[in-house]
């Protein structure tokens, strides 16, 4: 039953029988037969079939919710038994929004010192992709905004508040200021993250609140691209304070607080709302709470 449910979850994700079979490491006939047997056991049709995959039936969508829950619990049980025998081991898959990538090491490094048998996979993804990957069991945890756009049902640990600064070269407009307003920075040639990034939507929101709109002269989904353009001295950007501090901007680059409003948004760790969590995820949540305490102590 667990194998058949895994086949079904893969098909719902891939929306293609061949790709789902490849993801599960089986042949397409094996996957198709498994899903037909699952339909027979449950007494309902799960998949609309034609010459190709045509989506899930209403009953299929209901079963998908249960399938994810059952498969998740099964994985948790196996991992808990492995941890009981050998201690924590395995791989933790994390997806983080680009503005949070620089702080991931503050979570993973102390974790691995405590649990040397654990390895990590860290991906850069949009906030929407983080939640989708979490719902599909493609990651174990995500790092994203907690207070700006709906999260759905997740377990969350607030880590820090993201505040915003103008990052610009010495000699550019406002580079000698102690603070600058959102309205003022709209006049600069800006390089910003792409509109699919929640950080960009937050920036656009605060600019709109200041009564201005911005058409950046460069957009990218990579923070490295933005940093490299800022360093030319010809571009400015808007970045979180913690990110600027992590990369250690110094002369001739300045980081200037943005006010009116002095905005902040909470970034945190999210995991699937499962009780109990797998031992790996629970240990990661515990480490995140310790990191949150450290952030608060150094405010």
Complete domains list, the chain, with CATH: 1-77 (1.10.10.10), 78-158+265-296 (3.40.190.10), 160-263 (3.40.190.290)
pLDDT, tens digit (0-9, with 9 covering 90-100), for 23-49: 899 999 999 999 999 999 999 999 988
Residues 100/267, Cβ–Cβ less than 8 Å: yes
Distance of CA 260 to the CA centre of its chain: 29
Q: Copy the structure tokens of residue 172.
A: 């550019």
Q: Measuring CA to CA, how many Å separate 193 from each of 126, 144, 260, 266?
A: 11, 15, 21, 18
The model's pTM is 0.76
Which residue has better confidence, 61 or 52? 61
pLDDT band at 148 (very low <50, low <70, confident <90, very high): confident
Nearest to 118 by CA among 292, 293, 282, 289: 282
pLDDT band at 248 (very low <50, low <70, confident <90, very high): low
Burial pattern 159-176, b for ≥16 Cβ within 10 A else e, equals bbbbebbbbbbeebebbe
The answer on pLDDT for 158 being more than 90 is yes
């Amino acid at each position: 039953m667990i194998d058949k449910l895994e086949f079904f979850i893969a098909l719902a994700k891939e929306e293609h029988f061949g790709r789902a079979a490849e993801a599960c490491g089986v042949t397409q006939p094996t996957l198709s037969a498994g899903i037909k047997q699952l339909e027979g056991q449950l007494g309902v049709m799960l998949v609309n079939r034609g010459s190709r995959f045509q989506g899930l039936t209403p009953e299929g969508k209901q079963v998908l919710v249960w399938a994810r829950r059952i498969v998740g619990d099964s994985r948790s049980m196996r991992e808990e038994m492995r941890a009981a025998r050998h201690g924590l081991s395995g791989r933790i898959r994390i997806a983080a929004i680009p503005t949070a990538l620089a702080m991931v090491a503050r979570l993973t490094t102390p974790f691995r010192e405590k649990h040397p048998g654990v390895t990590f996979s860290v991906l850069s993804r949009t906030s929407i992709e983080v939640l989708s990957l979490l719902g599909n069991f493609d990651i174990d945890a995500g790092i994203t905004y907690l207070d700006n756009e709906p999260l759905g049902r997740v377990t969350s640990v607030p880590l820090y508040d993201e505040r915003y600064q103008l990052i610009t070269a010495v000699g550019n407009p406002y580079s000698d200021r102690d603070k600058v307003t959102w309205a003022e920075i709209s006049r600069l040639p800006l390089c910003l993250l792409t509109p699919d990034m929640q950080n960009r939507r937050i920036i656009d929101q605060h600019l709109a609140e200041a009564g201005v709109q911005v058409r950046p002269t460069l957009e990218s989904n990579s923070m490295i691209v933005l940093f490299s353009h800022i360093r030319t001295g010809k571009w400015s950007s808007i970045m979180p304070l913690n990110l600027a501090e992590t990369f250690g901007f110094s002369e001739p680059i300045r980081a200037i607080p943005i006010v009116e409003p002095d905005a902040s948004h909470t970034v945190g760790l999210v995991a699937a709302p499962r009780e109990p969590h797998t031992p790996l995820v629970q240990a990661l949540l515990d480490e995140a709470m310790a990191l949150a305490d450290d952030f608060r102590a150094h405010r």
